[in-house]
Amino acid sequence: MAKSLGHFSSLVSFTKTQLSRQCARLFFRTSVRRTVMRAVPSILSPKARDFSLPNPSWGDEMMRLYNHYNQQGGVDPEGGGEQGGRWTRLPSYNRSLKYAIGGVYLSKIIQSKARLFTRNIQQAGAAFEYVVFYTNDKQRCVCVLQAGHLLEGPPGHVHGGAIATMIDTVTGSHASLLCAPVMTANLNVNYRSPIPLGSTVLIESTLGEQEGRKMFVSCKISSSDGSKLHTEATALFVSVGVSHLLRG
């Protein structure tokens, strides 16, 4: 009798252990499923925010130039078509990943909410406020930049590193339209006159020579009316494989 009770007790203990394990597995699967189901709508949402669109921090000159170029063209959601007129606006969430096989969809799913670090300041108007347009033959790009107070270097003027950052951003975006993805191999910057904080300037990028995987681009920054030259630069970009970018 005692032996039977011991056997029964062992059986109950074994059943409880099995039941506990099954419940734990069920809880884990349910938790994972709930997490995935909650995440999927936001990940798959096609409504990626475009930081190159006007916001309340844009001044009159920024809006005037935006309207000037925007009225001559349209927006190319994938950065690869030729529509509208002479100029086409480049969305801020455009990414090199889209050039991989199926990359258009991957870039929307994985990087639809990613920001370049020039876009990562939460406060509108505090740092880099800019929009990039390119010609349909993709030989020229123009960027309208409004420099916020967080970009200060010399008192009352934009930091030289911030200027170089924007040159690299604009020329890199330009090179990517023609031969993507690319990486900066060389950047030479000549500072001519300082850029006042809060001012709006034009950054113009022009395609130079192409030699195999190499692409040379020239750039200049001038006042919005073109009367003052602030900066001149040349850049060399080298095309790389998408796998190289994914490996880091």
CATH code, 154: 3.10.129.10
| pLDDT tens-digit map of 109-164 | 555 555 678 988 889 999 999 999 999 889 999 999 999 999 999 999 999 999 99
Q: Is 125 left (phi over 0), alpha (psi -120 to 50) or beta?
A: left
Q: Are residues 65 and 8 in the same domain?
A: no
pLDDT for position 233: 98
Q: Are residues 19 and 4 in the same domain?
A: yes
Confidence of residue 190 (pLDDT cuts 50, 70, 90): very high
Higher per-residue confidence, 206 vs 99: 206
Mean per-residue pLDDT for 24-39?
43
Mean per-residue pLDDT for 218-225?
97
Cα gap 163→188, rounded to integer Å: 12
Beta bridge partner(s), residue 131: 144
Q: Are residues 29 and 125 in the same domain?
A: no
Q: Are residues 82 and 183 in the same domain?
A: yes
Contact by Cβ (8 Å): 62, 144? yes
Write down the mean pLDDT value for the chain: 77
Task: Tell me the residue range of the domain where 26 lies.
Answer: 1-44
Q: Are residues 122 and 218 in the same domain?
A: yes
CB proximity list for 210: less than 8 A, separation 6 or greater: 178, 179, 216
pLDDT for position 43: 40
Whether the bond between 181 and the residue before it is cis, its omega within 30 degrees of 0, is yes
Alpha-carbon separation of residue 81 from 181, 208, 246 (angstroms): 17, 21, 25
Q: Are residues 39 and 59 in the same domain?
A: no
| pLDDT beyond 50 at 99 | no
Confidence of residue 8 (pLDDT cuts 50, 70, 90): very low
For the chain, give the percent of residues with pLDDT over 70.
Answer: 63
Q: How many CB atoms lie within 10 A of CB 195?
A: 27
pLDDT for position 32: 39
Q: Are residues 13 and 86 in the same domain?
A: no
pLDDT for position 73: 74
Q: Are residues 37 and 55 in the same domain?
A: no
- Maximum Cα–Cα distance across the chain: 106
Q: How many domains does the chain have?
A: 2
Last residue within a domain, chosen from 12, 27, 44:
44
Confidence of residue 206 (pLDDT cuts 50, 70, 90): very high
pLDDT for position 92: 81
Q: Are residues 58 and 82 in the same domain?
A: yes
Q: Are residues 228 and 120 in the same domain?
A: yes
pLDDT for position 45: 44
Q: Are residues 57 and 110 in the same domain?
A: yes
| pLDDT tens-digit map of 50-60 | 889 999 999 99
- Residue-level length of the chain: 248
Confidence of residue 37 (pLDDT cuts 50, 70, 90): very low
Confidence of residue 168 (pLDDT cuts 50, 70, 90): very high
Q: Are residues 116 and 239 in the same domain?
A: yes
**pTM to 2 decimal places:** 0.71
Active-site residue numbers?
Answer: 168
